[in-house]
Amino acid sequence: MQFDQILQYSLSGLSTGAIYALIGIGFSIIYNATGIINFAQGEFVMLGGLVTLSCLELLQLPLWAAIPCAVAVCTVIGVLFERLAIRPLRQPTPINLVIITIGGSILIRGLAMLVWGKDTHAIPPFSGDTPIAIGGATILPQHLWILAITLIIIIFNKLYFYHTISGKAMRACSYNRRAAGLVGIDVRRMVLFSFIISSAMGAVAGIIVAPLTMTAYDVGVMLGLKGFCAAIIGGMSSGISTVIGGLLLGILESLGAGLISSGYKDAIAFIILLLILFLRPQGLFGKADSERV
C-alpha cells in the first residue's frame, strides 16, 4: 500500500519534473549565452498554453497544427523581447537586467490577463484520458506525452549544441564571449538565438503541461521559478544535469506534497533552491569555480 503510493507520487512527479527540466534548460541557455537570468522565462510557458488554446478555439485549428503555431507565436514574442528590452539597454548591469526582465515579465503577464482574462482554461489531452496502470499506480497518456516530448527535445538540443556550427558557436559564447567574438562568432546573433531557443522550449513546456494542470495568465511565475530551481540544481548547465535537477525537484515535490503536506508543496522547491544556493552554488554535480573579478 505504502509502496504503491510512493510509486504513484514518483510517477506523477517525474512528468512535472520533466516540465521543470525544459524550463530550466531555457534559463540555462540564455544564461550561458548572455549571463542574464531571464525572469520572464516563465511567461513563455504561460503563453505557450494560452496561445494554443486560442489556436484551437478561435482559429479552429486541429491540435497538430495549433501546437507549432503557438510555438511560432511565442518565439516571435521572445525575439521581440530580446530586441526591444534586452538589446537597447544602455547600462546592462546585473541589477538593471534583473529589473528589466521582471518588468517584461509583469508586462507580458498583464497583457495576457487583458487578452485571456483571469479564468483558468483547459486544453484537451493529446490522446484521451484513459488511465494506464503501471504496477500499483496509474498514469495518464498525457504523462507519457510529456516524457516523450521532453526526451525528444533534449536529444535535439544535444545534437544542436554538439553537431552544428551555430550550436558550437553558442557553446563558445558561453565559455568566453570576447574570445568567441575574436574568432569571428557574431555574439549578438547568438544572444538572439538563445532567446529563440529558450522561448520556444518554454512554450512547448507550457503546451504539454496545460492538459494536465490547466492554464491561466499567472501560471508562469511558479513554473518559471521552479524551472530556475531545476537549473540551479543542475549548475546552470543546458544539458543532462539540469534534466536530473528538474526530475529530482519534481519527484521530491510530489512526494513532499503527498506524504507531508500539500500546502507546503511550493515551499519545498524554494527551500531546496536556498539550500543549493547556500551550500553548493555551483550545482549538485558541478565543480567549484573560482570567481573572476
Partner 1 sequence: MKRDLLLFIAFALLIMVAPHFFHGGYLMNVLVFVGINTMLAIALNLLLGYAGQISLGHAGFFGLGAYISGVLTTTYALNPWSAMPLAALVVGCLAYLIGFPILKLKGHYLAMATLGLGIIIYIVFNETVDLTGGPSGLSGIPNLEVAGVVFDSDVKNYYLIWGVTLAVMLFSLNLANSRIGRALRAVHDSEVAAQVLGVNSRVLKVQIFALSAVISSLAGSLYAHTMTFVSPASFGFNFSIEVLTMVVIGGLGSIYGSFLGAALLTLLPEFLRGANDYDIIIYGALLMIMVMFMPGGLVRGIPALYRKIFKQKGEGDNA
Scanning 1-9, 220-228, 244-252, 282-290 for contacts with partner 1 by CB under 8 A, the matching segment is 220-228
Strand partners, 128: 126
**Does residue 153 interact with partner 1 by CB under 8 A?**
no
Dihedrals φ, ψ of 132, to 5°? -110, 130
**Does residue 264 interact with partner 1 by CB under 8 A?**
yes
Nearest residue (CB) to partner 1, 66 versus 257: 257
Which run of H or E residues covers position 34? helix 2-34
d(Cα 113, Cα 108) in Å, to the nearest integer? 9
**For partner 1, which residue of 119, 184, 263, 289 counts as binding (CB under 8 A)?**
263
**Does residue 105 interact with partner 1 by CB under 8 A?**
yes
Dihedrals φ, ψ of 161, to 5°? -75, -25
What's the angle, vertex CA 90, arms to CA 84 and CA 92, rounded to 5? 90
Dihedrals φ, ψ of 117, to 5°? 75, -175
Total residues binding partner 1 (CB under 8 A): 47
Of 14-73, binders to partner 1 (CB under 8 A) are: 31, 36-37, 39
Closest distance of CB 74 from partner 1, Å: 18
Strand partners, 121: 215
Binding residues for partner 1 (CB under 8 A): 31, 36-37, 39, 85, 88-91, 94-100, 102-111, 113-114, 118, 221, 225, 228-229, 232, 261, 263-264, 266-267, 270-271, 273-274, 277-278, 281, 293
